């Protein structure tokens, strides 16, 4: 089955995609307040040295997200 979306961990380094929506309301609440909103373009910078976290850029803001947080953002394909 073809997926209609992907999530942040699917992005390769320096690949970007626009956010569509969130999976988890608690995380959505936190992330929207930090500037990650539907429509915002998310750029993957790199994975954490020991994994399980991602360094991303959203509108010039640099953020570190945990794997669960990164998975909760749905992106356009």
Partner 1 sequence: MTRGDAQTYKIALVGNPNSGKSTIFNQLTGLRQKTGNFPGVTVDIKSGKIRFAGGIEAILTDLPGTYSLYPTSSDEKIVAALLTHPAHANFPDGIVYIADTNHLEKHLLLLTQIMDLGIPILLALNMSDTAAELGIKVNIIRLSERLGVPVVFVSGRTGENIDRLQAELEKMMLGTQAIHKTAAFYTPTEAEKQLVEAVQLNLGTENPYRALLIAHHYQWLPFLQHSERETLAAIVETKHFQSLRAQVDETLDRFDRFTPFVQESVQEAPTFPNTTTDRLDALLTHRIGGPLIFFAVMLLMFQAIFDWSVYPMDWIETGFSWLNDGLKAALPAGWFSDLLTDGILAGLSGILIFIPQIAILFLLITILEEVGYMSRVVFMFDKTMRRAGMNGRSVISLIGGGACAVPAIMSSRTIGNWQERLITIMVTPFISCSARIPVYLVLIGLAVPAVKIGGLINAQTLVFASMYALGVIAAFASGWAMKKWLRTREPSFLAIELPEYRMPDWKNVALTVWEKVAAFVWGAGKIILFVSIALWGLSRFGPGNAVETAENTAREKAQTTQLSTSETEDLIAHHRLEASYAGQMGKFIEPAIRPLGYDWKIGIALLTSFAAREVFTGTLAVLYNMGSAEPDISSRTDNQAKVTMRAKMREETFSDNGKPVYTLATALSLLVFYALALQCMSTIAVVKRETGSWKWALFQFTFMSALAYVVAWLVYLLFS
Interface residue list for partner 1 (CB under 8 A): 22, 25-35, 37-38, 45-53, 55, 57, 59-66, 69
Q: How buried is 24 (Cβ within 10 angstroms: 0-12 exposed, 13-18 middle, 19+ buried)? A: middle
Q: Give the nearer residue to partner 1 in terms of CB position, either 18 or 64.
A: 64
Compute the least distance from the CB of residue 3 to partner 1, in Å: 23
CA distances to 34, 40, 49, 50 from 75, rounded to whole Å, are: 17, 10, 24, 24
Q: Give the nearer residue to partner 1 in terms of CB position, either 2 or 60.
A: 60
């Amino acid at each position: 089955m073809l997926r209609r979306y992907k999530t942040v961990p699917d992005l390769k380094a320096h690949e970007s995609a626009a956010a569509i929506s969130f999976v988890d309301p608690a995380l959505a609440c936190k992330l929207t307040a930090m500037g990650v909103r539907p429509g915002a373009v998310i750029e993957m910078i790199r994975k954490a040295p020991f994994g399980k976290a991602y360094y991303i850029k959203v509108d010039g803001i640099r953020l570190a997200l945990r794997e669960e947080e990164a998975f909760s953002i749905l992106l356009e394909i």
